[in-house]
Structure 1
Amino acid sequence: MKKSVLPRLFAFVLAFAFLLATAPACSTAGDKTPAGAKTVKGVKGLHVVYLTDGNEYWGMVDRVEKDRIHFTHVDGKKSVYETKDVKNVTFQKKRLYHEIEHVSKLPDKQYYSQWKQNPYTGAMMRMIEPYRRALEARFNSLVLRKDVRCELAADGSATIETRIVKFILKEEGKSEMIDYFTYRKDREKGELVYALTVNPDGSVHHIKDDAINDEPLNNEVAEYDRLHRIKFGLPNVGVHSILDYAYRVTISKTDPTYPFILEHYFLGGVPVLEQSITVTTYRNGTGLADDFDPGKFREWPIFPGLEFYPKLAVRRFRVRGGGIRYVYKLGPIGGFMQDEYKTPPFSHFTPQVVVGLKTDWAKVGAAYAEKLAALEPALDKAVKKLGVLRYGTLGREIAEEAYDRIARKMKHVPVGMGGYDYLPQDPGPLVKKDIANSLDKAHLFLGICKLVGIKANLVLVRGQGAGPVAPDVANIRQLTTPLVRVMLDGKPVYCAFGSVNLRFGQIPSYLQDVRGLLIDGKESKLVQVPPTPPADQAATNKVSVLVKEDGSVEVTRVTTLTGGVEESYRTMRFSPVEKIRKDIEASFGEIHPNCEYKSHRFITGLDDFSKPLEVEYKYEISDYTKKGGDRLLLLRLPELSYSAGDVGRQKRRLPFYFGVHTQQIHEYTVTLPPGFRVRYTPDNIDPSPGADTCPYTYIASFREEGNKLIFTDRTENTSPSIPNTFYGDLKTKMEARAKLTKKWIILERGEK
């Protein structure tokens, strides 16, 4: 027995002694060390001793002897453990509250002072008791508190600290033990201040270093490796646990292309009892405190069905040291359930605070233009290596060729401005490797336009998903995506660079009808990017149907696509031909169980970006029509199917959100079997009164031409969002459209 135990003990002592000897040096006081004992003096942080019986203790290892470990607990108590009883020892960084083992010692009296065995008897729990049953039915957790504290120094640097306190309502909420925050390593430093779990018995469990991971998010491409994420998992989380943690991001470098900004949305997916933002700024010789803009609070109506209603309090007062402090408080506010179809993104209707330094958009744009001007020599050299500048090629032709070379053929790096930088980098190394993100592609495109004399400007916009621009807080970090506005034949053409599948002049739906900063020196200003007309976001289907007397139909459909659907289809150009065929063939099984795919043909090649994508499909469906005795055939138009599920509610809280102007057209030509005529068709649907004001329209009509039945319909919306005032009209139209496609067309044998 001794032969098996002693070698393991000796190995453990050596290994642990090595751990302590290589730990960072700092200072601890220890007892006198016996001869032969290993001593560690002043280790920054804590040790965690894991015993074989499952217990673990935090504190400091004073010394290690051959068969025992001398240990001082965080409360000062001393212990000696036999090495045979010790499973492992790890080194942990000291964090705030590391010495606290029971909830009664935590300083936040609002939540922890009256804690007892039953978690619902504490002061904090009494706050939520009236809502508890409703909350548990709808949510997995709730946020008890979210505090954001920002201190802006006179030199423009800033520290932003965020504290979050969550309460786990039920088993499914335990997944929220994992969270993360991001920072830019070139300008910022990220730090987890503390993270702890408080359980119903009052015990406090602290996060361990091995549950924290600082990881790069874009390290696959060294040229764009700046954004980091600190991901962490809290320990010992169960139902009715409280998760309490804080993290800090310190911004060390600010300039016109990376100024201080704080954006906060108050409404999220879970209820929040209390939220606050505190911003402190300090005065210096330049009057920074006076130049600070406390921001604008965007108030939105609170919709029925939310558990709580926000009450905003904004205070401004001076603090010691010449500073001014702004405090925004809101709470409690209910979590918003996405229980309606087609709702706008949260950012479109949540209360929001945006704060930044006082300036205006013209100054922001002028400062940015100066930075761009400094890159012009490198840009001129880089664009000449792209191979698109040829004598005699001007105007739209060179613009389209340059767009093809840069937007489609350069490898796209999917890292946005917020993940790398708001200013383009030196384009030379990027051209050499033939890679770039959206901003650097836009920059190269600008360079070509400049060399050939095409008027073009960079436009930095805020995408729809981020919500509207706060126009009163001029700050480039509000903006998310670059576009280039090119003037051709006296008309503006907007170009996007975030996709390799767009035609020249196409922009994705989320970048339409948004505001952005037009960079034009001292003439820089906010502009509105117009929405694409519905015809340029359309799917047009011309369908020929041959009805046979045996009940089968032969169908040829030619589909012409523009806009977002076209972009999605063109992703197939990177797939093998056989895979494309198999995927298309498999999709025809959804039309009808008896549907048999015959062929498809790309009339417009997937790589042909000179015109909209056009595709021809052929298929056959056996036993498709139904017989009504010897004389009647019942028919529905193949593939024509609409649903009214999105408008099932009688009333809505939020607008009906399409996100983009769209158009869908069907033109059916149905050839009847010999000797048959049309006996019945559903009624035509004409524009209803008020259609000139409602942004959504649907029309449909049937007519006979010889032995053919002609059906046409058109669905069109001319607004990305349908206001609730038109919801009744929208509901009526979508329901009528769905009913029409479920009705039978009746064909009858005989002469007219």
Structure 2
Amino acid sequence: MIFLLAVTLILRDGKRINSPSIHLEGEKIFLEDTVLSRRDVDEIVFKTGGISMGKGERDVSSLLRLAEKADSLFPDAPGVVLIDEGRWEYFPDGSRKYTYHFAGLVKKEEKRGWRRRFFWYEKEREALRVEYARVIKPDGSVRYAGEIKIASPTTGDVFFDRGEIASFELPDVDPGDIVEYLYVDSTFKPWFPSLFEGDWFFGGREPVLYSSLTIKIPPGETLIYVARNGKPEVKRKRNEWTFTMECIPPVIEEPAMPPLSDLVPSITFSNLTSWDPLFDWYGEFQKRRLRITPRIKRVADSLTSGVDEPEKKVEILYHWVQRNIRYISIKGGASSGVSGHPAEETLLKGYGDCTDKAILFAALLRACGIEAYPVYINTNDAGSLVREVPSFYGNHAIDKVKFDGKEIFLDATGYYSRYPSFWSADHGVWAVNALERRIEYIPIPPPERNARIYTYSMVLHEDGTLDVEFQSEYTGDYESWIRGFWDTRREEEKERVFQGMVKEVSPKAELVSWEIENLKDLSKPLRLKIRYRIKDFPEKAENYWIFRLPELQERMEKRELSLTERRYPLFYETSEMIVQRVKLILPPGKVSPPSSIELKGRYALFSGEYRVKEDTLYLEAIWKRWEREIPPEEYSEYRRQVMEAKRWLGKPVILELQ
């Protein structure tokens, strides 16, 4: 049975009936005071969705018994999910209904947040009914939620021109109480009626006693599904499937772990056996929005005037879209939410979200004769694509660009990515390329494309003063972050930050000068130049000076390696390279640096070498990591490699003065 609010029924004889609510069950339509056959109804017009609150009565004693069991099984947990139960029903007309039942035992203060529940809700497409929401006290007494509150959401640079947030709050929730609610969300105007898809996660950061998902589809429909990270019990009865797991332990938080959705047991399902319908649907939206208008052509030509090389045109347009189109997201229906606004509209407004900027960038490239395709991805902190199951996919949009036999990916969403770098959250993920009808992998750039290069020219004077000229430059997303940091600082702030940087090197350090090169010019590498002085730099013992080169060891400080062993993979967004080069002019004497080192591992490499030439000491130390994830079974070896590299960089240099 499906429950809908605020509808108009148009009968076959032309008569119109307005009703504040209806129930649909089989071939019958139940109004408040009558029952109609679907054969008598020509059209149901859903003028608006709605939201309402009811009260239901469920067995309190059974929940109290579950709470006792949960307390004995998970005595130290701050909260235990007693019931986590979902049910999807898909109807022949494409509408669908989702019913969710939750009950959780609050054991500590930090889980009192369960008393609040928020729903993203589009009243033009959905009807939402909270059947009941209550708190059950240990003595069995019950208190219900009050009214449902509605708010229009805005978050930073994201604005919603459709949809609202509905919420309720349960009163007087304390440790020892059970929070329980059940709601029904009916979607009567789905974006894509012939697609029925979703996923379900068994467990999470709290232990779960019972979790189940039921899926019911019309006879003759197909259902495919993939289970990951566990095997739920599966029961099928004709066109209805139920997936169940019990006593699921919590995910224990670790530093730098993969997204939760890639760790917990899950089911991903769809009624499509091929991506083709989604390619068609996405592609039609994109084709209309990629239209090269005279204005788009004029802008593309003017920006690339006098440039013949395709790659240089890509670079110019990439930087221009980033710097001139502000990121603001306007979320509406499927056409704007999924495929963005027309390229010319975004150009004229001067703002748009990731999809809008991807559409505009691709249109400008196409106006120059360069192949470009907007693609949808999930950023690598948001969970992996299950490629076997066609589904709505992606929390982000970027572009695939083809020229001179090359295929690259670029992300024009931000403001600071220097070609050919793009946001590290896009690395190592799958992309849905609708126009080329492909699911394709975005490779992780080599470490050289995510490099930090630090160069020192130092002079150690006979009075023990160390003069340092430092320069840093970067490639990849780290450069984008550094550029954004400095671009948003006022001049007086910059001076204070540089002062703080040299004081972190040594409390005795004094800033002499600083300079930032190419801060506003995305086409050139960003460089930081700092000069500072440290008095009484070496430790002295008779005619021996002992010192450690500044800052080198600190760059191998990796807080994510605090654990001696791990349960889950160590997760990074992208590859990494750190190059440190030092030229140090010394007073006359005999210098004894550490011996050279090379540490080769499966996921990383470190090499360090000192050389002495007359009165000058040279150092080159290089760290490379080329993978995003380190499996738990490889973690100890990787950690040992990093620690050994860090120890080597911290070894002292000994100078025996003449």
TM range (shorter): 0.7 to 0.9
Match of 1:313 in 2: 233
Instruction: Find the aligned partners of 1:724 and 1:359 in 2 and give their Cα distance.
Output: 34
Instruction: Report the alpha carbon displacement of residue 428 of structure 1 after superposing the two structures with TM.
Output: 4.2
Instruction: Report the alpha carbon displacement of residue 682 of structure 1 after superposing the two structures with TM.
Output: 2.6
User: Match for 1:126 among 63, 68, 82?
Assistant: 68
Instruction: Find the aligned partners of 2:327 and 2:71 in 1 and give their Cα distance.
Output: 52
User: Match for 1:536 among 449, 457, 462?
Assistant: 449
Instruction: Report the alpha carbon displacement of residue 94 of structure 1 after superposing the two structures with TM.
Output: 6.9
- Asked if residue 474 in structure 1 is aligned to residue 386 in structure 2, the reply is no
Q: Deviations over 1:483-531 (max 9, x none)?
A: 21111211012111221111233221211111111222xx501111111
Instruction: Report the alpha carbon displacement of residue 414 of structure 1 after superposing the two structures with TM.
Output: 4.7
Match of 1:632 in 2: 544
Tell me, yes or no, if the aligned pair for 1:190 and 1:249 is still in contact at 8 Å: yes
Change (3 A) 1:257 1:627: farther
Change (3 A) 1:94 1:453: closer
Spell out the pairing of 1:144-293 with structure 2 (5 A cutoff). Answer: 144-209=82-147, 212-217=149-154, 224-256=160-192, 259-283=195-219, 289-291=220-222, 293=223
Tell me, yes or no, if the aligned pair for 1:277 and 1:328 is still in contact at 8 Å: yes
Instruction: Find the aligned partners of 2:559 and 2:306 in 1 and give their Cα distance.
Output: 56
Match of 2:46 in 1: none
Tell me, yes or no, if the aligned pair for 1:212 and 1:233 is still in contact at 8 Å: no
Tell me, yes or no, if the aligned pair for 2:300 and 2:368 is still in contact at 8 Å: no
Change (3 A) 1:417 1:505: farther
User: Match for 2:274 among 349, 357, 360?
Assistant: 360
Tell me, yes or no, if the aligned pair for 1:216 and 1:228 is still in contact at 8 Å: yes
Partner SS state of residue 201, structure 1: coil
Tell me, yes or no, if the aligned pair for 1:687 and 1:698 is still in contact at 8 Å: yes
Change (3 A) 1:175 1:392: same
Tell me, yes or no, if the aligned pair for 2:575 and 2:627 is still in contact at 8 Å: yes
User: Match for 1:582 among 476, 482, 496?
Assistant: 496
Instruction: Find the aligned partners of 2:193 and 2:283 in 1 and give their Cα distance.
Output: 10
Change (3 A) 1:392 1:561: closer
Match of 1:514 in 2: 429
Tell me, yes or no, if the aligned pair for 1:179 and 1:231 is still in contact at 8 Å: yes
Partner SS state of residue 519, structure 2: coil
Instruction: Find the aligned partners of 1:227 and 1:575 in 2 and give their Cα distance.
Output: 36
Instruction: Find the aligned partners of 1:735 and 1:659 in 2 and give their Cα distance.
Output: 21
Tell me, yes or no, if the aligned pair for 2:52 and 2:130 is still in contact at 8 Å: no
Match of 2:313 in 1: 398
Tell me, yes or no, if the aligned pair for 2:74 and 2:207 is still in contact at 8 Å: no
Greater Rg by CA: 1
Using the size of structure 1 for normalisation, the TM-score is 0.75
Match of 2:358 in 1: 442
Structure 1 counterpart of 2:285, one-letter code: K
- Asked if residue 738 in structure 1 is aligned to residue 646 in structure 2, the reply is yes
Partner SS state of residue 386, structure 2: coil
Tell me, yes or no, if the aligned pair for 2:225 and 2:267 is still in contact at 8 Å: yes
- Asked if residue 141 in structure 1 is aligned to residue 55 in structure 2, the reply is no
Instruction: Report the alpha carbon displacement of residue 257 of structure 1 after superposing the two structures with TM.
Output: 9.8
Q: Deviations over 1:695-716 (max 9, x none)?
A: 1111111121111111111111
Residue identity over aligned pairs, in percent, reads: 22
Instruction: Find the aligned partners of 2:69 and 2:213 in 1 and give their Cα distance.
Output: 21
- Asked if residue 296 in structure 1 is aligned to residue 226 in structure 2, the reply is yes
Match of 1:549 in 2: 462
Q: Deviations over 1:218-250 (max 9, x none)?
A: 69776x523532233221101101111233333
Partner SS state of residue 331, structure 1: strand
Instruction: Report the alpha carbon displacement of residue 192 of structure 1 after superposing the two structures with TM.
Output: 3.6
User: Match for 2:617 among 709, 726, 730?
Assistant: 709
Instruction: Find the aligned partners of 1:412 and 1:155 in 2 and give their Cα distance.
Output: 37
Match of 1:564 in 2: 477
Instruction: Find the aligned partners of 1:428 and 1:463 in 2 and give their Cα distance.
Output: 27
Instruction: Find the aligned partners of 1:217 and 1:162 in 2 and give their Cα distance.
Output: 26
Tell me, yes or no, if the aligned pair for 1:663 and 1:717 is still in contact at 8 Å: yes
Match of 2:414 in 1: 499
Structure 2 counterpart of 1:332, one-letter code: C
- Asked if residue 685 in structure 1 is aligned to residue 597 in structure 2, the reply is yes
Instruction: Report the alpha carbon displacement of residue 294 of structure 1 after superposing the two structures with TM.
Output: 3.6
Structure 2 counterpart of 1:314, one-letter code: V
Using the size of structure 2 for normalisation, the TM-score is 0.85
Instruction: Find the aligned partners of 1:372 and 1:686 in 2 and give their Cα distance.
Output: 50
Change (3 A) 1:251 1:581: farther
User: Match for 1:653 among 547, 556, 567?
Assistant: 567
Tell me, yes or no, if the aligned pair for 1:417 and 1:480 is still in contact at 8 Å: no
Instruction: Find the aligned partners of 1:562 and 1:341 in 2 and give their Cα distance.
Output: 26
Match of 1:113 in 2: 61
Structure 1 counterpart of 2:61, one-letter code: S
Change (3 A) 1:95 1:181: closer
Instruction: Report the alpha carbon displacement of residue 643 of structure 1 after superposing the two structures with TM.
Output: 3.4
- Asked if residue 96 in structure 1 is aligned to residue 27 in structure 2, the reply is no
The alignment covers a number of residue pairs equal to 605
What is the root-mean-square deviation of aligned Cα atoms in Å?
2.8
Tell me, yes or no, if the aligned pair for 1:381 and 1:428 is still in contact at 8 Å: no
Instruction: Find the aligned partners of 1:709 and 1:596 in 2 and give their Cα distance.
Output: 23
Instruction: Find the aligned partners of 2:333 and 2:396 in 1 and give their Cα distance.
Output: 9
Partner SS state of residue 166, structure 1: strand
Instruction: Find the aligned partners of 1:148 and 1:404 in 2 and give their Cα distance.
Output: 46
Instruction: Find the aligned partners of 1:730 and 1:744 in 2 and give their Cα distance.
Output: 24
Instruction: Find the aligned partners of 1:165 and 1:543 in 2 and give their Cα distance.
Output: 60
Tell me, yes or no, if the aligned pair for 1:264 and 1:353 is still in contact at 8 Å: yes
Match of 1:40 in 2: none
Consecutive unaligned residues of structure 2, counting only runs of 5 or more, are 1-5, 7-19, 22-50
Change (3 A) 1:233 1:677: farther
Tell me, yes or no, if the aligned pair for 1:553 and 1:621 is still in contact at 8 Å: yes
Change (3 A) 1:416 1:274: farther
Instruction: Find the aligned partners of 2:96 and 2:62 in 1 and give their Cα distance.
Output: 36
Instruction: Find the aligned partners of 2:192 and 2:294 in 1 and give their Cα distance.
Output: 26
Partner SS state of residue 403, structure 1: helix
Tell me, yes or no, if the aligned pair for 2:398 and 2:413 is still in contact at 8 Å: no
Instruction: Find the aligned partners of 1:231 and 1:383 in 2 and give their Cα distance.
Output: 44
Instruction: Find the aligned partners of 1:613 and 1:191 in 2 and give their Cα distance.
Output: 54
Instruction: Find the aligned partners of 1:220 and 1:408 in 2 and give their Cα distance.
Output: 16
Instruction: Report the alpha carbon displacement of residue 410 of structure 1 after superposing the two structures with TM.
Output: 0.9
Instruction: Report the alpha carbon displacement of residue 566 of structure 1 after superposing the two structures with TM.
Output: 0.6
Tell me, yes or no, if the aligned pair for 1:386 and 1:431 is still in contact at 8 Å: no
Instruction: Find the aligned partners of 1:220 and 1:456 in 2 and give their Cα distance.
Output: 26
Partner SS state of residue 247, structure 2: coil
- Asked if residue 331 in structure 1 is aligned to residue 246 in structure 2, the reply is yes
Spell out the pairing of 1:586-605 with structure 2 (5 A cutoff). Answer: 586-603=500-517, 605=518
Higher relative contact order (CA 8 A, sep 6+): 2
Spell out the pairing of 1:380-395 with structure 2 (5 A cutoff). Answer: 380-381=293-294, 383-384=296-297, 386=299, 388-389=301-302, 392-394=306-308, 395=310
Tell me, yes or no, if the aligned pair for 1:217 and 1:228 is still in contact at 8 Å: no
Change (3 A) 1:256 1:206: closer
